[in-house]
Amino acid sequence: MIALLNEITWWHWIVFGVALIVIEMSTGTFFMLTLGLSAIVVGILDILMDLSLQMEILLWLLFSIVSIIAWMKWYKDKTVSNSGQSDYRLETPGTVTVHIPARGRGKVAFDTPVLGNSQWHATAKTDIPKGTRVQIVEVNGQLIEVAPLSTTQS
């Protein structure tokens, strides 16, 4: 039994990788996932090429660093969101439910919820009667500026 642990073999890397993935399941950070997958890849490469311990460690470090960098780049790109920002869902169509006088306030019911609500107080630069189809042109705090669909489409 001790002879199995005297030198690191391919199966040590795979067990190490699986252990890291199991740890990842309890943390949810995806950091250990990249390390675990890198260890499993090194174990598979060790089966195919019979690598030295130094080469195995070097490959594991290299794969780990590359996978962490790739994950961070992918994660950063995927979490960028404009939800809650002033340019969120511009051009969303809706219908005026309460007349909007020029530079005044009215209400609009949007076809799809905007920032979690489908009914919004709205302003407009021109007079917009009830029932007119409009779209968002700007978000100003809790007010949404709208314009009739016919004047905003190019």
Q: Is there a single domain that holds both residue 26 and residue 49?
A: yes
Give the Cα separation of 7 and 92 in Å (integer): 64
Give 52-105 pLDDT, tens digit per residue.
999 999 999 999 999 999 988 877 655 545 555 545 567 789 999 999 999 999
- pLDDT tens digits for range 17-56: 999 999 999 887 788 999 999 999 999 999 999 899 999 9
16 and 74 both lie in a single domain: yes
61 within domain boundaries: yes
Angle at 74 between CA 72 and CA 75, to 5 degrees: 60
**139 lies in which domain range?**
93-152
The CATH number of the domain holding residue 142 is 2.40.50.140
Q: Domain boundary at 36, 57, 79, which?
A: 79
The values of phi and psi at residue 123, to 5°, are -120, 165
Residues 72 and 12 in one domain: yes
In this structure, is residue 55 part of a structural domain? yes
